[in-house]
Amino acid sequence: MKKISLILIGLLFIPTLFLTSCDGGDDPVTGKPAFSELKIHMVGSGLDFNKIDENDEIGKFVTPAPAEAVLQTFLDEHYIIDIRSIDAWKSGHIKGAINVPFEDILEHGELAGNKKILIVCYSGQTACYATALMRMYGFKKTHALKWGMSGWNSTTAKSWNDNIGNIASGKLVKTEAPKDAEFKDPDLGITIDSKEDLLKKRVKEVIKNKFKTKTAQEVLDNPSGYFINNYFKEADYLGFGHIDGAHRILPLLLSDNSYKYLDPSKPIVTYCYTGQTSAVMTAWLNVLGYDAYSMLFGMNKLNNSNSAWASNQWGGDSNPKNLELIVEN
């Protein structure tokens, strides 16, 4: 009987011990919805899409190859990261450019010092994707070489020369955009990280997954399998024509909640004129938790001979320069 009494007394003390330990120690860590935290931080830190596209530090996310008369000045003011293969770099690269694998780009942000960072690839598209990620990570003085090495010299222009086309000729429609509906936010779960650390983790995760793309043919073959966003101004959406069912969400921002028109349950495919703006958008959306893809070569692949072109037409107003290349033996 005495043993039973002691057991009962002990059981009565257990809740008291738990209460005492809670009162006397730190409060338990409570997680917060990761997407909401990310949204607040990105808007507050100048990382909404319009600020990734063009910021106060350096301006637009792309810069064209310079005129030959100012080439040396251009080279002097840039820390140049070439993310092509080592063989491509050896066969002809910009003077002073270092060859860096895509997955290692963040390590070179600090090495640039006070210089602007220029990222170079074959066509400009992967470099634009990398540029968006660098800007989100904190290296805001980063931009991509427009058209990539295809725009630098005619001997390195194969990527663009071989990929323009008219595979959607006669298939594009000139209907009004579908009516937008609002969707739930992407589910990034719960986080206990600071907002800044959360963003850096997201950027690193997106880099690990590399540049996510779809070919124009893949999209044309299965348009209902994607949520397609045509990132054109309204006049061009109707003037060029568009993939049947493609939305036109522009602007697309966190601050005005226009991002809510994207359906997170489907792969998001963005296309533009050249695949370069859509690459920036795709990087931004992947950081936010969407399953996002950039359609390679944009309208230049779909319908390069379209009569609506005013600019950004490869082989029309846009062609390679013939600037110096360094060849490694």
Per-residue pLDDT of the chain (329 residues; tens, 9 = 90+): 444 444 433 444 434 433 333 344 444 447 899 999 999 999 999 999 999 999 998 999 999 999 999 999 999 999 999 999 999 999 999 999 999 999 999 999 989 999 999 999 999 999 999 999 999 999 999 999 999 999 999 999 999 999 999 999 999 999 999 999 999 999 999 999 999 999 999 999 999 999 999 999 999 999 999 999 999 999 999 999 999 999 999 999 999 999 999 999 999 999 999 999 999 999 999 999 999 999 999 999 999 999 999 999 999 999 999 999 999 98
What pLDDT score does 272 carry? Answer: 98
pLDDT of residue 17: 37
pLDDT at residue 11, as a whole number: 42
Check if the beta carbon of residue 292 is closer than 8 Å to that of residue 263: no
CA distance 144 to 157: 16
C-alpha–C-alpha distance, residues 118 and 115, integer Å: 9
CATH number for the domain formed by residue range(s) 45-161:
3.40.250.10
Q: Output the pLDDT for position 22.
A: 39
Domain pair 45-161 / 190-303, same fold:
yes
Q: Tell the residue number behind the tokens 């069912």, with chain if given.
A: 245
pLDDT of residue 7: 40
The phi, psi pair for 262, rounded to 5°, reads -90, 140
201 CB-side CA count, 13 A: 14
Q: Under a CB-based contact definition with an 8 Å cutoff, are residues 240 and 272 in contact?
A: no
In this prediction, residue 329 carries a pLDDT of: 81
Q: Pairing state of beta strands 59-60 and 54-55? A: antiparallel
Whole-model pTM: value is: 0.91
- Given this model, what pLDDT does residue 1 score? 44
Question: With respect to CATH, is domain 190-303 assigned 3.40.250.10?
Answer: yes
pLDDT of residue 4: 44
> For residues 292 and 123, what is the distance between their CA atoms, to the nearest angstrom?
20
List Cβ neighbours of 235 (8 Å cut-off, separation of 6 or more). none
Q: Domain ranges in the chain?
A: 45-161, 190-303
Radius of gyration of the chain from its Cα atoms, rounded to whole angstroms: 25
pLDDT at 89: 98
Under a CB-based contact definition with an 8 Å cutoff, are residues 115 and 79 in contact? yes
In whole angstroms, what is the distance from residue 276 CA to residue 291 CA?
18
Residue 3 neighbours by CB under 8 Å, 6+ apart: none
- Asked whether the beta carbons of 122 and 150 are under 8 A apart, the reply is yes
- CA–CA distance, 82 with 79 (Å, rounded to integer): 10
For residue 176, give every residue at least 6 positions away whose Cβ sits within 8 Å of its Cβ, in sequence order, or none: 238
Could you write out the three-class secondary structure of the chain? CHHHHHHHHHHHHHHHHHHHHHHHCCCCCCCEEHHHHHHHHHHHCCCCHHHHHEECCCEECEECCCCHHHHHHHHHCEEEEECCCHHHHHHCECCCCEECCHHHHHHHCHHHCCCEEEEECCCCHHHHHHHHHHHHHCCCCEEEECCHHHHCEHHHCHHHHCCCCCCCCCCCECCCCCCCCCCCCCCCCEECCCHHHHHHHHHHHHHHCCCCEECHHHHHHCHHHCEEEECCCHHHHHHCCECCCCECCCCCCCCCCHHHHCCCCCCEEEECCCCHHHHHHHHHHHHHCCCEEEECCHHHHHHCCCCCCCCCCECCCECCCECCCECCC
